[in-house]
């Protein structure tokens, strides 16, 4: 099969975007891994497939596959920004705000006049069983009313939440000195995360600025992770360390995260997380799979 794709990136997190709005498309895990393969394929962190949708109020279906495994996942924040940029550039919709659905979330995507893209990433999920995280037999340390769970075998404690996909966030003094390559995969595949987990290394710079590195589930360390930025900032807010609008410095670029649940009572914890950042088309291509 000859497959046309558009290579895109958002804060350095890179994607192969496949337009399946005109024809149904099923890609095997091997074909997806070929697209993700940086040596013998196209090379990307994730593959994003755009499908039409007949669901009321939904403009498109948004499917996400990790490039290294071909596994379908629930959410991709940097990809969502590229999605609306693609839809606008290709004329698939005249609207600058679109609604898309993933396997388990509906997202509102907005192409701003300044060229950046804002995404309503939905509300964070704190119920451990929905992350999922198995806390059986563990006693958390409480900070600001939020739990930090010990992974004693690794000598770390993690904040645990979901943005639709699972995240574990560790507080570190200096992201540049953090053992991301060693500790990332150990937390990613820890037995207490039955669906594995994306691992955030969060350095607090001020109450409105952080530095972040993320070892992504099934992808390794990426230059940026949108859902990881949302999860890390929400964790920092709930730990009482961050205010309601935070600039996130990643290795691939800067993202802005806003959440009305910061410092709020439990009533506002279901407020949506808003992420703003860049999205760029890099090149068009075709590959024989």
Ligand X SMILES: N[C@H](CCC[C@H](N)C(=O)O)C(=O)O
Is 76 tagged catalytic? yes
Q: How many residues bind ligand X (CB under 6 A)?
A: 19
For ligand X, which is the closer residue by CB, 231 or 237? 231
Distance CA 267, CA 249 (A): 29
Q: How far is the CB of 141 from ligand X (least distance, A)?
A: 26
276 lines the binding site for ligand X (CB under 6 A): no
Residues 19-38 vs ligand X: string with x where CB under 6 A?
Answer: --------------------
198 lines the binding site for ligand X (CB under 6 A): yes
118 lines the binding site for ligand X (CB under 6 A): no
Beta-carbon count within 10 A of 249 CB: 18
Report CA-CA distances (Å) from 126 to 64, 266, 287: 22, 11, 41
Q: Is residue 2 annotated as involved in ligand binding?
A: no
**The only residue of 98, 128, 202, 219 in contact with ligand X, by rule CB under 6 A:** 219
216 lines the binding site for ligand X (CB under 6 A): yes
107 lines the binding site for ligand X (CB under 6 A): no
Distance CA 251, CA 182 (A): 18
Catalytic residue among 16, 44, 82, 225: 225
Q: Is residue 77 annotated as involved in ligand binding?
A: yes
Site for ligand X in 32-91 (CB under 6 A): 45-46, 66, 73, 76-79
- Nearest of 53, 89, 145 to residue 279 by alpha carbon: 89
225 lines the binding site for ligand X (CB under 6 A): yes
Window of 36-44, 219-227, 242-250, 257-265 that interacts with ligand X by CB under 6 A: 219-227
Is 225 tagged catalytic? yes
Sole residue written with tokens 């393969």? 37
Q: How far is the CB of 86 from ligand X (least distance, A)?
A: 15
9 lines the binding site for ligand X (CB under 6 A): no
**The only residue of 5, 7, 9, 13 in contact with ligand X, by rule CB under 6 A:** 13
Q: Are strands 117-120 and 141-143 parallel, antiparallel or unpaired?
A: unpaired
User: Torsion over CA of 230, 198, 160 and 119, rounded to 10 degrees?
Assistant: 20
Active-site annotation, residues = 76, 225
Residue list for the binding site for substrate: 13, 46, 66, 77-78, 165, 198, 216-217, 226-227
Q: What residues line the site for ligand X (CB under 6 A)?
A: 13, 45-46, 66, 73, 76-79, 165, 198, 216-219, 222, 225-227
Residue list for the binding site: 13, 46, 66, 77-78, 165, 198, 216-217, 226-227
């Amino acid at each position: 099969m000859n497959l046309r794709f558009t290579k895109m990136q958002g804060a350095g997190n890179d994607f192969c975007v496949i337009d399946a709005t005109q024809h149904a498309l099923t890609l095997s895990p091997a074909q997806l891994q070929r697209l993700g393969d940086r040596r013998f394929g196209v090379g990307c962190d994730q593959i994003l497939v755009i499908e039409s949708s007949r669901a009321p109020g939904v403009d498109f279906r948004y499917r996400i596959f990790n490039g290294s495994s071909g596994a379908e996942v629930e959410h991709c924040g940097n990809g969502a920004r590229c999605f609306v940029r693609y839809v606008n550039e290709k004329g698939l919709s005249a609207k600058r705000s679109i609604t898309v659905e993933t396997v388990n979330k509906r997202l509102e995507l907005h192409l701003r006049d300044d060229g950046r893209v804002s995404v309503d990433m939905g509300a964070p999920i704190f119920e451990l069983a929905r992350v999922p995280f198995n806390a059986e037999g563990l006693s958390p340390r409480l900070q600001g009313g939020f739990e930090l769970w010990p992974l004693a075998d690794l000598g770390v404690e993690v904040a645990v939440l979901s943005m639709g996909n699972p995240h574990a966030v560790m507080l570190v003094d200096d992201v540049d000195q953090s053992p991301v390559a060693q500790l990332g995969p150990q937390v990613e595949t820890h037995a207490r995360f039955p669906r594995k987990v994306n691992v955030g290394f969060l350095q607090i710079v001020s109450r409105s600025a952080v530095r972040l590195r993320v070892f992504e589930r099934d992808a390794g360390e990426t230059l940026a992770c949108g859902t990881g930025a949302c999860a890390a900032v929400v964790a920092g807010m709930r730990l009482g360390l961050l205010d309601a609008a935070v600039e996130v410095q990643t290795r691939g670029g800067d993202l802005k995260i806003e959440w009305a649940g910061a410092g709020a009572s439990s009533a506002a914890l279901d407020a949506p997380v808003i992420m703003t950042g860049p999205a760029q088309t890099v090149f068009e291509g075709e590959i024989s799979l």
